[in-house]
């Protein structure tokens, strides 16, 4: 009997991150393996529990922190969702690229192994919550917002930013200083607050998990250099030249 598939592989299967041939192989294995079948069903039950328990409006503590920062900072191209509804002048779209979810940054050492994982969820509109895929564009509807989650593996710090179609880079979390310490434990953790991206054009969202804290200014500059290197084509934006593991999505706005 063949070895069991890892939970990470099964999560990637659910998220549509595997190649067609790998997805076919893993589905065939799951169909004949009670252990892997049970793991996949548990992931599906986890998803159902997430839908029931975690609302886009349940990030009160993060919202309050974001609101205080927003009062002190200049208006940003991308803002956290703050009740009551406010008009946002941002431009973002989540388009998941047909590339591995976790990309290698400089200093990334595959020999260490990694069960790091990042996730972008869309919700808050009229339809059900959903996870953005990485192998196809994820169109946003009016009023929809996104949340970002991660499972850090062995990494100790997390940061997120976005790049819009004109090259404007916006730190999402944290908004200044250095990348934030990750939450303890192996569960999926969610960054505080959610974001609504309005306007037109594409925007790329990036989550960086690293072993050492990275200056937000360094991440912003790396994103700007990457944008210039592809003449503003966000779908071809390369991995940022910073240490750690990265997850990239491209979003298309309504």
pLDDT in tens, the chain (254 residues): 357 888 878 877 877 767 888 889 889 998 989 999 998 888 777 766 665 555 555 544 444 454 455 455 444 445 454 433 332 233 333 333 323 334 444 433 333 345 788 999 998 877 778 888 776 778 888 888 899 999 999 999 999 999 999 999 999 999 999 999 999 988 899 998 889 887 778 889 999 999 999 999 999 999 999 999 999 999 999 999 999 999 999 899 88
Q: Cβ of 141: how many Cβ atoms within 10 Å?
A: 12
Contact 43, 145 (CB under 8 A): no
Q: Of 207, 213, 206, 157, which is closest to residue 184 (Cα–Cα)?
A: 157
- In this predicted structure, what is the pLDDT of residue 50? 60
Residue 53: the pLDDT is 55
* DSSP secondary structure code for residue 16 in this structure: T
- Give buried/exposed letters for 67-105 (b at 16+ CB in 10 A, else e): eeebeeeeebbbbbbbeeeeebebbbbbbbbeeebbbeb
């Amino acid at each position: 009997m063949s070895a069991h598939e890892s939970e990470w592989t099964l999560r990637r299967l659910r998220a549509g991150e595997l190649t067609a041939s790998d997805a076919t192989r893993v589905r065939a294995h799951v169909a004949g393996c009670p252990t892997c079948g049970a793991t996949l069903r548990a992931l599906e039950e986890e998803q159902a529990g997430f839908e029931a328990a975690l609302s886009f409006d349940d990030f009160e503590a993060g919202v309050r922190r974001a609101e205080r920062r927003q009062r002190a900072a200049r208006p940003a191209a991308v803002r956290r969702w703050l009740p009551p509804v406010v008009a946002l002048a941002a431009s973002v779209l989540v388009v998941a690229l047909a590339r591995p979810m976790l990309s290698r940054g400089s200093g990334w050492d595959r020999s260490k192994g990694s069960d790091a994982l990042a996730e972008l969820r869309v919700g808050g509109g009229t339809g059900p919550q959903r996870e953005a895929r990485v192998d196809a564009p994820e169109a946003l509807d009016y009023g929809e917002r996104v949340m970002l989650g991660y499972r850090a593996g062995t990494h100790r710090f997390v940061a997120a930013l976005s790049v819009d179609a004109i090259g404007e880079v916006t730190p999402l979390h944290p908004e200044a200083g250095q990348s934030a310490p990750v939450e303890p434990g192996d569960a999926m953790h969610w960054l505080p607050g959610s974001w609504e991206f309005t306007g037109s054009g594409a925007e790329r969202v990036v989550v960086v998990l690293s072993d050492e804290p990275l200056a937000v200014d360094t991440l912003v500059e790396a994103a700007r250099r990457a944008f210039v290197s592809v003449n503003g084509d966000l779908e071809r934006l390369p991995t940022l030249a910073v240490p750690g593991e990265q997850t990239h999505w491209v979003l298309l706005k309504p």
